Structure 1
Amino acid sequence: MKYEDYTIDNFLMDDFFIHWVKYPNENNRHFWEKWLGQHPEKREIVMQAVMIISSVHYQSKTVMDDRRYVEAFENILKADNESDLKKTEKKGKRRAFNFPWRGIAAGVMILFCLGISYKLIINPSKVDLSEGSTVTMIKRVNPAGRKSILTLSDGTRIFLNSGSEISYSSDFSDSLRLVSLKGEAFFEVQKEKRPFVVETGQTKIKVLGTTFNVNQKQNGALTVALVTGKVLINDQKGNEMQLEPSEMMVRGEDGAFHKTGFDPLTLTGWKDKILVFRENSFVEVKEKIENWFGVTLLLEGNIDANMTYSGTYKEESLENVLRGMLFTSGLAYEIEDKMVTIKNTK
């Protein structure tokens, strides 16, 4: 059966799906993100399955001795053979109801191996998600070179940049919509009564319905650029600032807030796959290229530390960006897999 034909019961018994929910890694995360993008009509049922699986307490180590493993496998074969025999006996007669023995045996084996509670799977509506039970949290991590778009349960859209991660509850509470961010993201918040709060480090950004960009640097610096609506920003030190459209809050490494304007293309062009350089130093250019394309950039020879570069590229390849950047500089480049070497040929 194809995943697009799966019911919630099928997802609950699929070991690859369960492994993605409980033990996500780069491979299974990439597959399911791509699959959900191609089948948005399945998102609701997938989220239901995710909530149920996340609420089940799996055994930390599951061990099946050889005897029990062989018995389970023999039961599957036996049920399959009995089903085939019944089909032969009924041949020529009125078609009888064929019970899916093999599917059930396989499902039971998977449940046994993974230590899942039978009652929780057969009666998913009875899973206790009240206070004190396991909270279902979703975490998305984008490595360098990858961007993604998320749609939350309230309809809010989040553009997550490369080298960034975000976490949130699959279902928000009745009074608050809270997400935690590391890195950079652009938010299109669905307007409603519940406030939407972005938590980044010790700083909180509170909105009701607006579009804005948040960029938290590894050195502690933070920028919040407001496109539409209003936002209120505060931190644990008591700093507070409200932004109007086209205003940006900048927090330096010292933790102090100040307000300034911003160029929308430079700050938010990334979400539309536009790579922008504005009088960037070579160090800044290097950092942007590495994060944008997921490569490592090495420098050979003497390169002017005061050199700056400006340019705009929309959905361009790494080679075209390097060619444009180095055309008049006298520098050359070599690309080998994920390694880029820039040399001074003069």
Structure 2
Amino acid sequence: MDNKDYKLFTLEDFLSDDFFIASVKSPVRQSTAFWQDFVASDPPNISEYLVARRYIESSNEILPFITDREISLLWDNIVAETGLNKPERRPRRKYMLYPAAVAASVLMLFALWPSDDVTRHVEICEYACAKADSTESREAKLILSDAKTVVITDKEAEIRYDDSKITVSRSQIPKEESAKYNQLIIPKGKMSRLTLSDGTKVWVNANTRIVYPAEFTGKQREIYVDGEIFLDVVHDDRPFIVRTKGLNIEVMGTRFNVCAYDKGELERIVLVEGSVRVADKTGGNKRVLEPKQMYEAAGGETRVEEVDVRKYASWIEGLYYFDRERLENVARLLSDYYGVSIVCSEKTGGFACSGKLDLKSDLDEVLLGLSLSLPVVCEHVGDDMYIIVLKND
């Protein structure tokens, strides 16, 4: 790896490189970081890298050595499916390829090779991983390219993508200043409303990162989410796919909430109207949701149940509904929304809360409402720090 320029590699080179194959089949922290940096550098052979990676990821056994003629035929299939240019032949050593499933020949595998749209979803996930900026800053950021970042000072910013421009609150930015993928980062204490290029509306909650293309192309629309969003998806002949760390959610036109943090174990989908199909990253555990159903996945287990959607979607209207919710969970939600630290004492964290909080009120009013409905008081112990304790403590 030390003396190799992977930016010059062809598909054949990747598939015959021991370090690349080992990195995909048995990744370790160092190899993962190496390839994340490689993708972040926007190499000219990114398409060949993604095709090679996708091929190895989907494999499960080793085929015998293959001939130059078979490699040439494989490339003909790849060119037909993806539009990549066929490389000039160069001397190479024999190598083994990994099939996508048990098959009689490699040529049969490439007859089933994924389309550009499959490659594209690998690309957006790779990009989201490589460009994972933190939500810990105090200001919201719209990252349009490596050279262009817009700092957003509004508490609830409006962002809209049109044919030729991007509108951020009261400012307009020519769309040509944007790279292929954009990244919106909303820290604690902020929110945003985003209108994508197809007209789909996205409410972005505090402590959330969303990656999306400046313009949807191809046969499907895709975004990546680390955090919580609510979507009102515009109906289109192309499916709309939300990708998270562990799930793929596919819709045509619908309204639903997604809560899935990269650092958390629980991922939750709540459908308000329409229909969504949910699957894990392996394509398993597929479920089709009906309105008022919730899908949860954690620790390899999944479940679907009917819920009161207000509890999960009312935050876009500045309201929180609770039904016997633990006070420590309410405190965490308020911490994210108002951008301060609110913690519960050991005696109060397990109290059950039911009712509604109006988040359009200032924080002191909200905390006063809690103290009137529960045997607690909220003590201000610092500039941005509150602790909830028993009234008689």
- Counterpart among 272, 278, 281 of residue 317 in structure 2: 272
Higher relative contact order (CA 8 A, sep 6+): 1
Q: Is the 8 A contact 2:164 2:175 kept in 1?
A: no
Which residue of structure 1 aligns with residue 187 of structure 2? Answer: 143
CA deviations 1:249-293 (Å, max 9, x no partner) are: 111x22222210111210100011102222111221221111121
Higher mean C-alpha displacement, 335-344 vs 187-196? 335-344
Q: CA deviation at 1:183?
A: 1.0
Q: Counterpart in 1 of 2:271?
A: 226
TM-score (norm 1): 0.63
Q: What is the DSSP-based 3-state SS (H/G/I as helix, E as strand, rest coil) of the residue aligned with 2:218? A: coil
Task: Name 1:53's counterpart in structure 2.
Answer: 177
Q: Structure 1's 200 and 52: CA in aligned 2 closer, same or farther, altered over 3 A? A: same
Q: Could you tell me the TM-score, scaled by structure 2's length?
A: 0.56
RMSD: 3.0
Residue number in structure 1 paired with 2:152: 30
Q: In the comparison of the two structures, how many residue pairs are matched?
A: 244
State whether residues 164 and 183 of structure 1, in contact with CA within 8 Å, keep that contact through their aligned partners in structure 2: yes
2:361 is aligned, of 316, 320, 344, to 316
The residue number in structure 2 matching 1:338 is 384
Partner Cα distance (2:260, 2:233) in 1 = 19
Change (3 A) 1:178 1:303: same
1:33 is displaced (CA, Å) by 9.3
Alignment-derived partner of residue 250 in structure 1: 296
1:178–1:256: structure 2 CA closer, same or farther, 3 Å change rule? Answer: same
Provide, for residues 130-189 of structure 1, a one-character-per-residue CA deviation record: whole Å limited to 9, x for no partner: xxxxx5211111111211110001000001111111110001113111000011111100
Inter-CA distance 182–35: structure 2 relative to 1 (3 Å threshold):
closer
Shift in Å at residue 43 of structure 1? 8.2
Mapped pair 1:287 → 2:287: no
Kept in 2, the 8 Å contact 1:274–1:313? The answer is yes
Q: Tell me, in whole angstroms, the C-alpha distance in 2 between the residues paired with 1:144 and 1:35.
A: 14
Structure 1 match to 2:257: 213
1:298-309 mapped onto 2 (5 Å cutoff): 298-299=343-344, 303-309=347-353
Distance (Å, rounded) in 2 between the aligned partners of 1:304 and 1:36? 37
2:236 aligned to which of 192, 195, 215: 192
Structure 1: give runs of 5+ residues left out of the alignment: 1-17, 55-134
> 1:303/1:176 Cα in 2 relative to 1: closer, same or farther (>3 Å)?
same
CA shift in 2, pair 1:151/1:328, >3 Å: closer
Q: 1:171 aligns with which of 200, 203, 215?
A: 215
Q: CA–CA distance in 2 between the matches of 1:164 and 1:41?
A: 19
- Cα pair distance change 1:164/1:279, threshold 3 Å: same
Give the whole-Å Cα distance in 2 for the aligned partners of 1:34 and 1:224: 23
Q: Distance in 2 between matches of 1:34 and 1:186?
A: 15
Q: CA deviation at 1:32?
A: 8.5
The answer to whether the 8 A contact 1:21-1:50 is kept is: no
Q: CA deviation at 1:299?
A: 4.4
Query: Which SS does the other structure have where 1:173 is aligned?
Result: coil
SS in 1 for 2:291: coil
The answer to whether the Cα contact below 8 Å between 1:36 and 1:43 also exists between their aligned partners in 2 is no
Q: Which residue of 1 aligns with 2:245?
A: 201
Task: Name the % identity.
Answer: 25
Does 2:201 align with 1:153? no
Change (3 A) 1:289 1:180: same
Structure 2 equivalent of residue 180 of structure 1: 224
Q: 1:31 offset after TM fit, Å?
A: 4.5
1:199–1:205 CA contact under 8 A, matched in 2: yes
- Matched position secondary structure for 1:29: strand
Give the secondary-structure state (helix, strand or coil) at the position aligned to 1:220. coil
Q: Secondary structure at the match of 2:199?
A: coil
Task: Structure 2 unaligned segments of length 5 or more: list them.
Answer: 1-141
Structure 2: distance between partners of 1:202 and 1:19:
24
For 2:158 and 2:316, the matched residues in 1 are separated by 20
Contact 1:168 1:178 (C-alpha < 8 Å) held by counterparts: yes
- Residues 286-341 of structure 1 show CA distances to partners (whole Å, capped at 9, x for unaligned) of 211111211102445x6245421122122222111111111254432233432213
Structure 1 residue 22: deviation in Å?
A: 4.0
2-side partners of 1:30 and 1:247: how far apart?
Answer: 35
Residues 93-133 of structure 1: CA distance to partner in whole angstroms, max 9, x if unpaired? xxxxxxxxxxxxxxxxxxxxxxxxxxxxxxxxxxxxxxxxx
